[in-house]
A and B are shown apart, each in its own frame.
Chain A
Amino acid sequence: MSLLTVRDLTVTFPTPRGPLDAVRSLDLDLEPGGALGIVGESGSGKSMTSLAIMGLQPRAAKRTGSVRLLDQELVGMSEAELRRVRGDRIAMVFQDPLSSLNPYYTVGLQIEEAYRAHRPGTTRRVARRVAIEALERVHIRDAARRVDHYPHQFSGGMRQRVMIAMALSTEPELLIADEPTTALDVTVQAQILDLLQEIRRETGTGLVLITHDLAVVSEVTDHIVVMKDGVCVERGAVEQIFTRPQHPYTRALLDAVPRIDDEIGELRAVANEKNGGPA
Protein backbone atom coordinates (compact mmCIF):
# COMPACT_ATOMS: atom_id res chain seq x y z
CA MET A 1 0.00 0.00 0.00
CA SER A 2 1.13 3.49 -0.75
CA LEU A 3 2.37 5.39 2.32
CA LEU A 4 1.16 8.74 1.11
CA THR A 5 -1.44 9.34 -1.57
CA VAL A 6 -2.34 12.92 -2.40
CA ARG A 7 -5.11 13.55 -4.93
CA ASP A 8 -6.31 16.79 -6.41
CA LEU A 9 -4.88 18.83 -3.53
CA THR A 10 -5.80 22.50 -3.89
CA VAL A 11 -5.04 25.36 -1.50
CA THR A 12 -6.86 28.59 -2.22
CA PHE A 13 -6.36 32.06 -0.73
CA PRO A 14 -8.95 34.78 -0.96
CA THR A 15 -7.31 37.94 -2.28
CA PRO A 16 -8.65 41.37 -3.25
CA ARG A 17 -8.25 40.29 -6.86
CA GLY A 18 -10.22 37.08 -6.33
CA PRO A 19 -9.27 33.58 -5.21
CA LEU A 20 -5.67 32.52 -5.78
CA ASP A 21 -4.56 28.88 -5.90
CA ALA A 22 -1.22 28.55 -4.14
CA VAL A 23 -1.47 24.82 -4.95
CA ARG A 24 -3.72 23.47 -7.67
CA SER A 25 -4.87 19.88 -8.37
CA LEU A 26 -1.70 18.28 -7.12
CA ASP A 27 -1.21 14.50 -7.01
CA LEU A 28 1.61 12.86 -5.07
CA ASP A 29 2.51 9.24 -4.39
CA LEU A 30 5.08 7.87 -2.00
CA GLU A 31 5.89 4.27 -1.12
CA PRO A 32 7.05 3.29 2.38
CA GLY A 33 10.78 3.95 2.54
CA GLY A 34 10.61 6.00 -0.65
CA ALA A 35 11.92 9.50 -1.16
CA LEU A 36 10.03 12.07 -3.17
CA GLY A 37 11.65 15.37 -4.11
CA ILE A 38 9.61 18.51 -4.71
CA VAL A 39 11.49 21.20 -6.61
CA GLY A 40 10.45 24.46 -8.20
CA GLU A 41 11.02 28.16 -8.04
CA SER A 42 10.43 30.34 -5.04
CA GLY A 43 6.71 30.87 -4.45
CA SER A 44 5.70 27.85 -6.53
CA GLY A 45 3.76 26.31 -3.63
CA LYS A 46 6.22 23.74 -2.26
CA SER A 47 5.94 24.78 1.39
CA MET A 48 2.19 25.28 1.09
CA THR A 49 1.91 21.71 -0.22
CA SER A 50 3.73 20.30 2.78
CA LEU A 51 1.69 22.38 5.20
CA ALA A 52 -1.53 21.30 3.51
CA ILE A 53 -0.58 17.63 3.76
CA MET A 54 -0.47 18.04 7.53
CA GLY A 55 -3.56 20.29 7.67
CA LEU A 56 -1.39 23.22 8.74
CA GLN A 57 -2.25 25.63 5.92
CA PRO A 58 -2.95 29.21 7.10
CA ARG A 59 -6.41 29.86 8.50
CA ALA A 60 -7.31 32.10 5.59
CA ALA A 61 -6.67 29.34 3.09
CA LYS A 62 -9.13 26.72 1.88
CA ARG A 63 -7.87 23.19 1.29
CA THR A 64 -9.67 20.65 -0.88
CA GLY A 65 -8.80 17.24 -2.29
CA SER A 66 -7.60 14.10 -0.58
CA VAL A 67 -4.55 13.26 1.54
CA ARG A 68 -4.24 9.60 2.56
CA LEU A 69 -1.64 8.22 4.93
CA LEU A 70 -1.71 4.43 4.37
CA ASP A 71 -5.49 3.86 4.59
CA GLN A 72 -6.38 6.90 6.64
CA GLU A 73 -7.91 10.00 5.07
CA LEU A 74 -6.53 13.18 6.67
CA VAL A 75 -8.77 15.73 4.97
CA GLY A 76 -11.88 16.20 7.08
CA MET A 77 -10.30 14.75 10.22
CA SER A 78 -10.99 16.52 13.51
CA GLU A 79 -8.27 18.79 14.87
CA ALA A 80 -7.72 16.43 17.82
CA GLU A 81 -7.22 13.41 15.57
CA LEU A 82 -4.97 15.40 13.28
CA ARG A 83 -2.82 16.48 16.18
CA ARG A 84 -2.32 12.83 17.08
CA VAL A 85 -1.31 11.99 13.51
CA ARG A 86 1.17 14.87 13.49
CA GLY A 87 2.74 13.90 16.79
CA ASP A 88 2.86 10.20 16.02
CA ARG A 89 3.05 9.40 12.37
CA ILE A 90 4.12 12.48 10.43
CA ALA A 91 7.00 14.70 11.42
CA MET A 92 8.02 17.88 9.72
CA VAL A 93 11.18 19.91 9.52
CA PHE A 94 10.29 23.48 8.65
CA GLN A 95 12.13 25.87 6.38
CA ASP A 96 12.86 28.48 9.04
CA PRO A 97 14.34 26.85 12.14
CA LEU A 98 14.50 29.94 14.33
CA SER A 99 10.83 30.72 14.11
CA SER A 100 9.80 27.11 14.65
CA LEU A 101 11.70 26.66 17.91
CA ASN A 102 10.38 28.23 21.10
CA PRO A 103 12.94 30.81 22.25
CA TYR A 104 11.94 30.49 25.91
CA TYR A 105 12.71 26.79 26.37
CA THR A 106 15.98 24.93 26.12
CA VAL A 107 16.29 22.75 23.04
CA GLY A 108 16.50 19.70 25.28
CA LEU A 109 13.15 20.44 26.88
CA GLN A 110 11.58 20.91 23.45
CA ILE A 111 12.82 17.55 22.22
CA GLU A 112 11.76 15.90 25.48
CA GLU A 113 8.26 17.34 25.24
CA ALA A 114 7.85 16.22 21.65
CA TYR A 115 8.99 12.75 22.60
CA ARG A 116 6.82 12.51 25.70
CA ALA A 117 3.75 13.63 23.79
CA HIS A 118 4.43 10.73 21.47
CA ARG A 119 5.24 8.22 24.23
CA PRO A 120 3.07 9.13 27.22
CA GLY A 121 4.40 7.80 30.49
CA THR A 122 8.05 8.28 29.57
CA THR A 123 9.99 9.57 32.56
CA ARG A 124 11.91 12.83 32.31
CA ARG A 125 15.16 10.94 32.80
CA VAL A 126 14.53 8.70 29.82
CA ALA A 127 13.28 11.59 27.70
CA ARG A 128 16.40 13.53 28.52
CA ARG A 129 18.58 10.65 27.41
CA VAL A 130 16.57 10.43 24.18
CA ALA A 131 17.13 14.16 23.65
CA ILE A 132 20.89 13.88 24.10
CA GLU A 133 21.07 10.88 21.80
CA ALA A 134 18.98 12.69 19.22
CA LEU A 135 21.39 15.63 19.28
CA GLU A 136 24.34 13.28 18.95
CA ARG A 137 22.72 11.62 15.97
CA VAL A 138 22.67 14.92 14.11
CA HIS A 139 26.30 15.52 15.06
CA ILE A 140 25.93 18.30 17.61
CA ARG A 141 29.24 18.37 19.46
CA ASP A 142 29.13 18.17 23.22
CA ALA A 143 25.45 17.20 23.17
CA ALA A 144 25.19 16.50 26.90
CA ARG A 145 25.96 20.14 27.58
CA ARG A 146 24.23 21.64 24.55
CA VAL A 147 20.93 20.05 25.53
CA ASP A 148 20.50 22.77 28.17
CA HIS A 149 21.07 25.70 25.83
CA TYR A 150 18.43 27.99 24.34
CA PRO A 151 17.81 28.27 20.58
CA HIS A 152 19.53 31.66 20.26
CA GLN A 153 22.72 30.12 21.56
CA PHE A 154 22.91 27.86 18.51
CA SER A 155 24.09 28.78 15.04
CA GLY A 156 21.62 28.63 12.14
CA GLY A 157 22.84 25.23 11.02
CA MET A 158 22.77 23.84 14.53
CA ARG A 159 19.17 24.98 15.00
CA GLN A 160 18.27 23.21 11.81
CA ARG A 161 19.89 20.05 13.17
CA VAL A 162 17.90 20.42 16.40
CA MET A 163 14.71 20.48 14.35
CA ILE A 164 15.79 17.35 12.52
CA ALA A 165 16.72 15.66 15.79
CA MET A 166 13.30 16.49 17.18
CA ALA A 167 11.50 15.18 14.11
CA LEU A 168 13.41 11.91 14.09
CA SER A 169 13.14 11.20 17.81
CA THR A 170 9.53 10.08 17.42
CA GLU A 171 10.33 7.60 14.60
CA PRO A 172 7.61 8.87 12.24
CA GLU A 173 6.25 6.92 9.27
CA LEU A 174 6.51 10.00 7.11
CA LEU A 175 9.03 12.80 7.35
CA ILE A 176 8.40 16.01 5.45
CA ALA A 177 11.55 18.09 5.25
CA ASP A 178 11.31 21.60 3.83
CA GLU A 179 14.81 22.78 2.86
CA PRO A 180 16.30 20.77 5.74
CA THR A 181 19.91 21.33 4.77
CA THR A 182 19.74 24.83 3.32
CA ALA A 183 21.39 26.34 6.38
CA LEU A 184 24.06 23.68 6.73
CA ASP A 185 27.63 23.55 5.56
CA VAL A 186 28.27 20.82 3.01
CA THR A 187 29.99 18.40 5.37
CA VAL A 188 27.13 18.49 7.88
CA GLN A 189 24.70 18.43 4.97
CA ALA A 190 26.29 15.22 3.74
CA GLN A 191 26.02 13.71 7.23
CA ILE A 192 22.37 14.68 7.56
CA LEU A 193 21.52 13.33 4.13
CA ASP A 194 23.26 10.06 5.02
CA LEU A 195 21.30 9.97 8.25
CA LEU A 196 18.01 10.45 6.38
CA GLN A 197 18.93 7.60 4.01
CA GLU A 198 19.87 5.37 6.92
CA ILE A 199 16.55 6.01 8.64
CA ARG A 200 14.65 5.26 5.47
CA ARG A 201 16.46 1.97 5.11
CA GLU A 202 16.16 0.93 8.73
CA THR A 203 12.65 2.04 9.64
CA GLY A 204 10.97 2.43 6.27
CA THR A 205 10.20 6.08 7.00
CA GLY A 206 9.05 7.79 3.84
CA LEU A 207 10.62 11.11 2.96
CA VAL A 208 9.21 14.12 1.17
CA LEU A 209 12.14 16.41 0.51
CA ILE A 210 11.56 19.98 -0.56
CA THR A 211 14.61 21.80 -1.76
CA HIS A 212 15.84 24.12 -4.43
CA ASP A 213 19.18 22.32 -4.46
CA LEU A 214 18.92 20.06 -7.47
CA ALA A 215 22.21 18.33 -6.69
CA VAL A 216 20.86 17.29 -3.29
CA VAL A 217 17.63 16.06 -4.85
CA SER A 218 19.59 14.05 -7.39
CA GLU A 219 21.55 12.32 -4.64
CA VAL A 220 18.74 11.59 -2.21
CA THR A 221 15.37 11.06 -3.89
CA ASP A 222 14.01 8.44 -6.25
CA HIS A 223 11.09 10.41 -7.68
CA ILE A 224 10.72 14.10 -8.43
CA VAL A 225 7.84 16.50 -8.84
CA VAL A 226 8.59 19.85 -10.48
CA MET A 227 6.25 22.66 -9.45
CA LYS A 228 5.59 26.05 -10.98
CA ASP A 229 2.86 28.50 -10.02
CA GLY A 230 1.17 25.94 -7.78
CA VAL A 231 0.91 23.15 -10.32
CA CYS A 232 3.04 20.13 -11.15
CA VAL A 233 4.59 20.70 -14.57
CA GLU A 234 6.63 17.50 -14.67
CA ARG A 235 7.09 14.33 -12.65
CA GLY A 236 9.20 11.22 -13.00
CA ALA A 237 11.99 8.99 -11.77
CA VAL A 238 15.05 10.95 -10.77
CA GLU A 239 17.28 9.71 -13.56
CA GLN A 240 14.63 10.47 -16.15
CA ILE A 241 14.21 14.05 -14.91
CA PHE A 242 17.94 14.68 -14.87
CA THR A 243 18.71 13.10 -18.24
CA ARG A 244 15.55 13.68 -20.27
CA PRO A 245 13.65 16.65 -18.83
CA GLN A 246 10.55 17.26 -20.94
CA HIS A 247 9.15 20.55 -19.73
CA PRO A 248 10.98 23.74 -20.76
CA TYR A 249 10.79 24.95 -17.16
CA THR A 250 12.58 21.84 -15.86
CA ARG A 251 15.24 22.31 -18.51
CA ALA A 252 15.71 25.94 -17.57
CA LEU A 253 15.97 24.99 -13.90
CA LEU A 254 18.71 22.46 -14.66
CA ASP A 255 20.53 25.03 -16.78
CA ALA A 256 20.47 27.56 -13.92
CA VAL A 257 22.30 25.32 -11.43
CA PRO A 258 25.56 27.06 -10.52
CA ARG A 259 28.44 24.69 -11.09
CA ILE A 260 31.47 24.65 -8.94
CA ASP A 261 33.85 23.67 -11.73
CA ASP A 262 32.42 25.95 -14.41
CA GLU A 263 33.97 29.12 -15.67
CA ILE A 264 32.50 32.27 -14.18
CA GLY A 265 29.98 33.97 -16.37
CA GLU A 266 26.59 35.57 -16.14
CA LEU A 267 24.40 32.94 -14.50
CA ARG A 268 21.45 31.93 -16.53
CA ALA A 269 18.39 32.94 -14.61
CA VAL A 270 15.30 31.05 -15.67
CA ALA A 271 13.78 33.07 -18.45
CA ASN A 272 10.31 34.47 -18.13
CA GLU A 273 10.42 34.15 -14.35
CA LYS A 274 7.51 35.70 -12.60
CA ASN A 275 8.25 38.29 -9.99
CA GLY A 276 6.43 36.32 -7.37
CA GLY A 277 4.56 37.59 -4.40
CA PRO A 278 0.99 37.22 -3.43
CA ALA A 279 -1.34 38.19 -6.21
Chain B
Amino acid sequence: MSAPLLRATHLVKEFPVLGTGGIVRRPDTFRAVDDVSFEINAGDTLALVGESGSGKSTTARLAARLLDVTSGTVELDGEDVTRLGRADLRRFRSDVQVVFQDPYSSLNPRHTVERIVTAPLLYQQRGIPGGARAFTRSLMERVGLDPDHSQKYPAQFSGGQAQRIGIARALAVGPRVVVCDEAVSALDVSVQAQVINLLRDLQREEGLTYLFIAHDLAVVRQIATRVAVMTQGRIVEEGDRDAVFDAPQHEYTRKLLDAVPRIRPEWEAERRRNAALAAEGAR
Protein backbone atom coordinates (compact mmCIF):
# COMPACT_ATOMS: atom_id res chain seq x y z
CA MET B 1 0.00 0.00 0.00
CA SER B 2 1.17 3.49 -0.79
CA ALA B 3 1.89 5.97 1.97
CA PRO B 4 -0.92 8.35 2.95
CA LEU B 5 -0.84 11.78 1.34
CA LEU B 6 -1.62 13.61 4.55
CA ARG B 7 -0.74 12.21 7.95
CA ALA B 8 -1.24 13.80 11.36
CA THR B 9 0.35 12.15 14.35
CA HIS B 10 -0.41 12.88 18.02
CA LEU B 11 -1.50 16.46 17.37
CA VAL B 12 -1.92 18.62 20.46
CA LYS B 13 -2.94 22.26 20.55
CA GLU B 14 -3.14 24.32 23.70
CA PHE B 15 -4.42 27.90 23.81
CA PRO B 16 -3.54 30.38 26.54
CA VAL B 17 -6.65 31.58 28.34
CA LEU B 18 -7.38 33.62 31.43
CA GLY B 19 -7.96 31.51 34.51
CA THR B 20 -10.75 32.35 36.93
CA GLY B 21 -10.63 32.89 40.65
CA GLY B 22 -9.20 35.58 42.86
CA ILE B 23 -8.54 39.16 41.96
CA VAL B 24 -5.34 38.28 40.15
CA ARG B 25 -6.07 36.16 37.13
CA ARG B 26 -3.45 33.60 36.44
CA PRO B 27 -2.71 32.60 32.89
CA ASP B 28 -3.90 29.11 32.10
CA THR B 29 -4.05 26.90 29.03
CA PHE B 30 -6.92 25.17 27.33
CA ARG B 31 -6.26 21.97 25.38
CA ALA B 32 -8.45 22.25 22.27
CA VAL B 33 -6.88 19.30 20.42
CA ASP B 34 -5.75 16.41 22.55
CA ASP B 35 -3.66 13.72 20.86
CA VAL B 36 -5.34 13.51 17.45
CA SER B 37 -3.95 11.23 14.73
CA PHE B 38 -5.31 10.47 11.26
CA GLU B 39 -4.22 9.59 7.75
CA ILE B 40 -5.77 10.42 4.39
CA ASN B 41 -4.84 8.56 1.24
CA ALA B 42 -4.61 10.43 -2.05
CA GLY B 43 -8.02 10.72 -3.68
CA ASP B 44 -9.90 9.97 -0.46
CA THR B 45 -12.13 12.12 1.70
CA LEU B 46 -11.84 11.99 5.44
CA ALA B 47 -14.80 13.64 7.12
CA LEU B 48 -14.34 15.10 10.57
CA VAL B 49 -17.63 15.31 12.40
CA GLY B 50 -18.61 15.91 15.99
CA GLU B 51 -19.54 18.24 18.73
CA SER B 52 -19.37 22.00 18.36
CA GLY B 53 -16.19 23.18 20.06
CA SER B 54 -14.62 19.72 19.93
CA GLY B 55 -11.58 20.93 18.02
CA LYS B 56 -12.43 20.12 14.40
CA SER B 57 -11.51 23.53 13.00
CA THR B 58 -8.40 23.68 15.15
CA THR B 59 -7.35 20.25 13.90
CA ALA B 60 -7.93 21.39 10.33
CA ARG B 61 -5.88 24.53 10.88
CA LEU B 62 -3.04 22.51 12.35
CA ALA B 63 -3.08 20.10 9.41
CA ALA B 64 -3.09 23.02 6.96
CA ARG B 65 -0.25 24.66 8.88
CA LEU B 66 -2.28 27.79 9.56
CA LEU B 67 -1.65 27.27 13.25
CA ASP B 68 1.47 25.94 14.96
CA VAL B 69 1.15 22.69 16.86
CA THR B 70 1.90 22.50 20.56
CA SER B 71 3.20 19.01 19.84
CA GLY B 72 2.77 16.29 17.23
CA THR B 73 3.65 16.15 13.55
CA VAL B 74 2.05 16.80 10.19
CA GLU B 75 3.38 15.00 7.12
CA LEU B 76 2.53 15.67 3.48
CA ASP B 77 3.50 12.92 1.09
CA GLY B 78 5.97 11.49 3.60
CA GLU B 79 7.66 14.83 4.29
CA ASP B 80 7.52 16.28 7.79
CA VAL B 81 6.04 19.76 7.30
CA THR B 82 5.50 20.61 10.96
CA ARG B 83 8.36 23.06 11.14
CA LEU B 84 8.66 24.45 7.61
CA GLY B 85 10.22 27.87 7.15
CA ARG B 86 8.62 30.67 5.22
CA ALA B 87 9.79 29.68 1.75
CA ASP B 88 8.87 26.02 2.13
CA LEU B 89 5.55 26.97 3.63
CA ARG B 90 4.77 28.80 0.43
CA ARG B 91 5.29 25.57 -1.50
CA PHE B 92 3.15 23.73 1.03
CA ARG B 93 0.34 26.28 0.54
CA SER B 94 0.09 25.49 -3.13
CA ASP B 95 -0.49 21.84 -2.20
CA VAL B 96 -2.88 22.35 0.71
CA GLN B 97 -5.70 24.89 0.60
CA VAL B 98 -8.51 25.69 3.00
CA VAL B 99 -12.12 26.76 2.55
CA PHE B 100 -13.48 28.29 5.73
CA GLN B 101 -16.66 28.23 7.74
CA ASP B 102 -17.57 31.94 7.84
CA PRO B 103 -17.81 33.06 4.22
CA TYR B 104 -17.79 36.82 4.73
CA SER B 105 -15.17 37.10 7.43
CA SER B 106 -12.70 34.94 5.50
CA LEU B 107 -12.87 37.15 2.39
CA ASN B 108 -11.31 40.59 2.34
CA PRO B 109 -14.30 42.98 2.10
CA ARG B 110 -12.30 45.63 0.25
CA HIS B 111 -11.15 43.34 -2.55
CA THR B 112 -13.00 42.32 -5.68
CA VAL B 113 -13.64 38.67 -6.46
CA GLU B 114 -10.89 38.80 -9.07
CA ARG B 115 -8.38 40.12 -6.59
CA ILE B 116 -9.45 37.59 -3.96
CA VAL B 117 -9.14 34.52 -6.14
CA THR B 118 -5.87 35.55 -7.76
CA ALA B 119 -4.21 36.63 -4.49
CA PRO B 120 -2.91 33.13 -3.58
CA LEU B 121 -1.12 32.87 -6.92
CA LEU B 122 0.45 36.28 -6.50
CA TYR B 123 1.46 35.42 -2.96
CA GLN B 124 3.18 32.34 -4.29
CA GLN B 125 4.80 34.43 -6.99
CA ARG B 126 3.31 32.32 -9.72
CA GLY B 127 1.97 33.64 -12.98
CA ILE B 128 -1.73 33.68 -13.71
CA PRO B 129 -2.47 31.37 -16.61
CA GLY B 130 -4.34 33.24 -19.35
CA GLY B 131 -4.39 36.54 -17.40
CA ALA B 132 -6.34 37.50 -14.30
CA ARG B 133 -9.63 38.31 -16.00
CA ALA B 134 -10.00 35.14 -18.04
CA PHE B 135 -8.66 33.00 -15.21
CA THR B 136 -11.19 34.44 -12.75
CA ARG B 137 -14.05 33.99 -15.17
CA SER B 138 -13.30 30.33 -15.72
CA LEU B 139 -12.92 29.71 -11.98
CA MET B 140 -16.24 31.42 -11.29
CA GLU B 141 -17.91 29.25 -13.87
CA ARG B 142 -16.43 26.16 -12.29
CA VAL B 143 -18.05 26.96 -8.95
CA GLY B 144 -21.35 28.07 -10.45
CA LEU B 145 -21.01 31.83 -10.13
CA ASP B 146 -21.84 34.33 -12.84
CA PRO B 147 -18.45 35.32 -14.36
CA ASP B 148 -19.76 38.79 -15.11
CA HIS B 149 -19.54 39.52 -11.38
CA SER B 150 -15.78 39.24 -11.08
CA GLN B 151 -15.43 42.93 -10.17
CA LYS B 152 -17.93 42.82 -7.29
CA TYR B 153 -17.12 42.83 -3.58
CA PRO B 154 -18.00 40.07 -1.09
CA ALA B 155 -20.77 42.11 0.60
CA GLN B 156 -22.62 42.21 -2.70
CA PHE B 157 -23.12 38.45 -2.66
CA SER B 158 -25.45 36.33 -0.56
CA GLY B 159 -23.98 33.93 2.02
CA GLY B 160 -24.03 30.95 -0.30
CA GLN B 161 -22.54 32.89 -3.17
CA ALA B 162 -19.77 34.19 -0.92
CA GLN B 163 -18.93 30.63 0.08
CA ARG B 164 -18.41 29.72 -3.56
CA ILE B 165 -15.91 32.57 -3.88
CA GLY B 166 -13.96 30.90 -1.07
CA ILE B 167 -13.98 27.61 -2.94
CA ALA B 168 -12.84 29.32 -6.13
CA ARG B 169 -9.95 30.91 -4.26
CA ALA B 170 -8.87 27.52 -2.90
CA LEU B 171 -8.98 25.92 -6.34
CA ALA B 172 -6.98 28.74 -7.94
CA VAL B 173 -3.57 27.36 -6.99
CA GLY B 174 -4.35 23.82 -8.13
CA PRO B 175 -3.94 22.16 -4.72
CA ARG B 176 -3.63 18.44 -4.00
CA VAL B 177 -5.42 18.62 -0.66
CA VAL B 178 -8.39 20.84 0.09
CA VAL B 179 -9.47 21.28 3.67
CA CYS B 180 -13.15 22.19 3.71
CA ASP B 181 -14.25 23.59 7.06
CA GLU B 182 -18.06 23.69 6.91
CA ALA B 183 -17.60 24.74 3.31
CA VAL B 184 -21.09 23.75 2.25
CA SER B 185 -22.96 24.49 5.47
CA ALA B 186 -24.11 27.94 4.41
CA LEU B 187 -25.37 26.74 1.05
CA ASP B 188 -29.00 26.02 0.29
CA VAL B 189 -29.78 22.47 -0.75
CA SER B 190 -29.71 23.07 -4.47
CA VAL B 191 -26.39 24.93 -4.46
CA GLN B 192 -25.08 22.50 -1.88
CA ALA B 193 -25.86 19.64 -4.23
CA GLN B 194 -24.03 21.48 -7.02
CA VAL B 195 -20.99 22.11 -4.86
CA ILE B 196 -20.85 18.54 -3.54
CA ASN B 197 -21.11 17.27 -7.10
CA LEU B 198 -18.38 19.72 -8.08
CA LEU B 199 -16.11 18.55 -5.27
CA ARG B 200 -16.71 14.92 -6.24
CA ASP B 201 -16.06 15.63 -9.93
CA LEU B 202 -12.82 17.40 -9.07
CA GLN B 203 -11.83 14.42 -6.98
CA ARG B 204 -12.61 11.98 -9.75
CA GLU B 205 -10.94 14.02 -12.50
CA GLU B 206 -8.00 15.53 -10.70
CA GLY B 207 -7.54 13.11 -7.82
CA LEU B 208 -8.12 15.77 -5.16
CA THR B 209 -7.93 14.75 -1.53
CA TYR B 210 -10.25 16.26 1.05
CA LEU B 211 -10.32 16.80 4.75
CA PHE B 212 -13.97 17.62 5.05
CA ILE B 213 -15.52 19.10 8.17
CA ALA B 214 -19.28 19.24 8.36
CA HIS B 215 -21.96 18.85 10.95
CA ASP B 216 -24.54 17.82 8.37
CA LEU B 217 -24.28 14.06 8.46
CA ALA B 218 -26.38 13.60 5.34
CA VAL B 219 -23.79 15.62 3.45
CA VAL B 220 -20.98 13.64 5.01
CA ARG B 221 -22.62 10.42 3.91
CA GLN B 222 -22.63 11.76 0.35
CA ILE B 223 -19.01 12.76 0.17
CA ALA B 224 -16.83 10.91 2.70
CA THR B 225 -14.86 7.74 2.18
CA ARG B 226 -13.82 7.64 5.82
CA VAL B 227 -15.30 9.31 8.88
CA ALA B 228 -13.70 10.40 12.16
CA VAL B 229 -15.86 11.49 15.08
CA MET B 230 -14.55 14.10 17.53
CA THR B 231 -15.66 15.15 20.94
CA GLN B 232 -13.77 17.24 23.49
CA GLY B 233 -10.52 17.42 21.57
CA ARG B 234 -10.25 13.72 20.75
CA ILE B 235 -11.19 11.38 17.95
CA VAL B 236 -13.42 8.78 19.57
CA GLU B 237 -14.26 6.72 16.50
CA GLU B 238 -12.82 6.38 13.02
CA GLY B 239 -13.73 4.04 10.21
CA ASP B 240 -15.07 3.53 6.71
CA ARG B 241 -18.10 5.67 6.02
CA ASP B 242 -20.68 2.94 5.91
CA ALA B 243 -19.30 1.21 8.98
CA VAL B 244 -19.57 4.39 11.04
CA PHE B 245 -23.06 5.20 9.78
CA ASP B 246 -24.51 1.69 9.86
CA ALA B 247 -22.78 0.25 12.92
CA PRO B 248 -21.55 3.12 15.11
CA GLN B 249 -19.39 1.85 17.95
CA HIS B 250 -19.06 4.85 20.22
CA GLU B 251 -21.94 6.16 22.28
CA TYR B 252 -21.31 9.74 21.11
CA THR B 253 -21.54 8.68 17.46
CA ARG B 254 -24.89 7.06 18.16
CA LYS B 255 -26.10 10.20 19.92
CA LEU B 256 -25.01 12.24 16.92
CA LEU B 257 -26.82 10.03 14.42
CA ASP B 258 -29.98 10.04 16.53
CA ALA B 259 -30.05 13.84 16.62
CA VAL B 260 -30.07 14.27 12.82
CA PRO B 261 -33.18 16.26 11.87
CA ARG B 262 -35.34 14.36 9.45
CA ILE B 263 -38.38 15.14 7.37
CA ARG B 264 -41.17 12.92 8.70
CA PRO B 265 -41.08 9.68 6.70
CA GLU B 266 -44.88 9.65 6.38
CA TRP B 267 -44.76 13.13 4.78
CA GLU B 268 -42.03 11.96 2.43
CA ALA B 269 -44.04 8.89 1.50
CA GLU B 270 -47.17 10.94 0.90
CA ARG B 271 -45.27 13.45 -1.23
CA ARG B 272 -43.80 10.68 -3.38
CA ARG B 273 -47.23 9.10 -3.71
CA ASN B 274 -48.76 12.42 -4.75
CA ALA B 275 -45.94 13.05 -7.22
CA ALA B 276 -46.40 9.60 -8.74
CA LEU B 277 -50.15 10.15 -9.03
CA ALA B 278 -49.60 13.51 -10.71
CA ALA B 279 -47.16 11.95 -13.17
CA GLU B 280 -49.72 9.22 -13.85
CA GLY B 281 -52.45 11.82 -14.41
CA ALA B 282 -50.27 13.77 -16.81
CA ARG B 283 -49.90 10.76 -19.06
Contacts and interface: CB of A to CB of B under 8 A. Distances in A.
A269 B194 contact: yes
A186 interface: yes
Contact of B57 (A41, A156, A264): A156
A215 interface: yes
Contacts of B66: none
B263 A273 contact: no
Given A185-B256, A278-B156, A258 B193 contact: yes
Interface in B50-103: 50-54, 56-57, 101-103
Contacts of B270: 243-244
A19 B260 CA distance: 42
B62 to A, nearest CB: 14
B215 A184 contact: yes
A277 interface: yes
Contact of A245 (B50, B145, B221, B271): B271
Interface stretch (B36-44, B115-123, B179-187): B179-187
A264 B159 contact: no
A273 B159 contact: no
Contacts of A275: 144-146
Nearest to A140: B53
B158 interface: yes
Contacts of B259: 186-187, 189-190
A277 B147 CA distance: 9
A219 B260 CA distance: 11
A213 interface: yes
Contact of B159 (A95, A154, A218, A254): A95
Nearest to A48: B158
Contact of A212 (B50, B103, B189, B217): B189
Contacts of A252: 190
A278 B157 contact: yes
Interface stretch (B3-11, B15-23, B131-139, B167-175): B15-23
B248 to A, nearest CB: 12
A57 interface: no
A253 B189 contact: yes
A276 B268 CA distance: 29
Given A47-B159, A277-B152, A156 B102 contact: yes
A256 B260 CA distance: 17
B260 A186 contact: yes
Contacts of A44: 188
Contacts of B156: 277-278
Given A157-B53, A264-B222, A243 B190 contact: no
A41 B190 contact: yes
A273 B191 contact: yes
Interface string A143-164: 0110011000111111001000
Contact of B188 (A153, A212, A218, A267): A212
Contacts of A276: 144-146, 157-158, 160-161, 191
A64 B215 CA distance: 38
Contacts of A43: 157-158, 160-161
A154 B15 CA distance: 11
Contact of B105 (A98, A243, A244, A278): A98
A257 interface: yes
Nearest to B191: A42
Interface residues of B, number: 66
A270 interface: yes
A31 interface: no
A179 interface: yes
Contacts of A256: 189-190, 192-193
A242 B217 contact: no
A270 B191 CA distance: 8
A268 interface: yes
B26 interface: no
B53 A154 contact: yes
Contacts of B267: 218, 239, 242-243
Contact of A185 (B50, B105, B145, B218): B50
Contacts of B202: none
A125 to B, nearest CB: 16
A97 interface: yes
Among B144, B146, B191, B221, the one with the most A-chain Cβ atoms within 10 Å of its Cβ is B191
A266 interface: yes
Contacts of A109: none
Contacts of A267: 193, 196-197, 222
Q: Which 5 A-B pairs have the closest CB atoms?
A: A42-B160, A157-B52, A270-B190, A212-B188, A267-B193
Given A179-B159, A258-B218, A276-B158, 11 more contacts: A42-B188, A44-B188, A95-B159, A144-B20, A145-B20, A184-B52, A186-B217, A190-B261, A215-B260, A256-B192, A260-B221
16 contacts: A40-B188, A42-B159, A42-B187, A141-B53, A185-B49, A185-B215, A186-B256, A215-B262, A218-B267, A252-B190, A253-B189, A253-B190, A257-B189, A273-B190, A276-B144, A276-B158
